[in-house]
Amino acid sequence: MDQDRTTDSDLTERTVSAPNADEGVQKTAEAEAVSAEKTPEDIEKEYQGKMKELDDRYLRLAAEFDNYKKRTVRQFEDIIRGANEELIIRVLEIVDDFDRARAAGEQAADCKSLQSGMELIYQHLDEIMKKEGVERIISLGKKFDPDYHDAMMQIESEEYPSGRVAMEMAAGYKLKGKVIRHARVAVSRGRATADEKNEA
């Protein structure tokens, strides 16, 4: 008898739980309905739109990078042009010195004054080169080094042993430590033998 009795609280629980179960079924049905509304064509259009958006973004980035490269090249060219202008202005001072030396040479009675003027011009040029970081490579008497020297020939030398630079045909130069022109030199092969001297 007691088992068949249904209390008011049991009825209330059943009444409350039934609508909750129906609500879950209803939400699932709504989600399926929304999903069913998108056709394959709609999904394709959606992805095409996203792809177009990404493509546009890529093209904008590519254009910006291309502009950046062009701007960097222009800035580098401006820097080089400015540096060249400064150097040319300093070299023009040497040209002025030569003009004055030529004018003085026409009136000079002896060669000593002209030689003295040329020495001053050379010193002025040497000062400009040092300020720009240009350094002459000292070669004469040094051991031959292919990093600094270009060997043009070998010669006998009473003064320098074999393998040493016996004659400098054209000076070499470094710019801020980097070789920009190798010295063209003649390398000693030592003293001539008695037979070689007799042949000479």
Q: Look up residue 28 and give its two tokens.
A: 């699932």
Q: Which residues of the chain have pLDDT under 50?
A: 1-4, 6-7, 9, 11-19, 21
What local confidence, expressed as pLDDT, does residue 16 receive?
44
What local confidence, expressed as pLDDT, does residue 61 receive?
93
Cα 176 to its chain centre, rounded Å, is: 17
What local confidence, expressed as pLDDT, does residue 193 receive?
66
Domain extent listing, the chain: 8-84, 136-200
**Rounded alpha-carbon distances, angstroms, from residue 198 to 17, 84, 158, 194:** 129, 56, 16, 6
Has domain 136-200 been given CATH number 2.30.22.10? yes
Whole-model pTM: value is: 0.54
What local confidence, expressed as pLDDT, does residue 25 receive?
52
Burial 21-34 (b: 16+ CB within 10 A, else e): eeeeeeeeeeeeee
Residue 149, burial from CB neighbour count under 10 angstroms (0-12, 13-18, 19+): buried
Phi-psi region of 133 (alpha: psi -120 to 50; beta: other; left: phi over 0): left
Q: Which residues pair with 151 in a beta bridge?
A: 185
Cβ neighbours of residue 167 closer than 8 Å, sequence gap 6 or more: 140, 155, 185, 186
Taking only the tens place, the pLDDT of each residue in 130-152 is 888 899 999 999 999 999 999 99
Which is it for strands 183-188 and 149-155: parallel, antiparallel or unpaired? Answer: parallel
DSSP code for 159: S
**Rounded alpha-carbon distances, angstroms, from residue 184 to 25, 41, 144, 158, 159:** 96, 78, 11, 20, 19
What local confidence, expressed as pLDDT, does residue 15 receive?
45
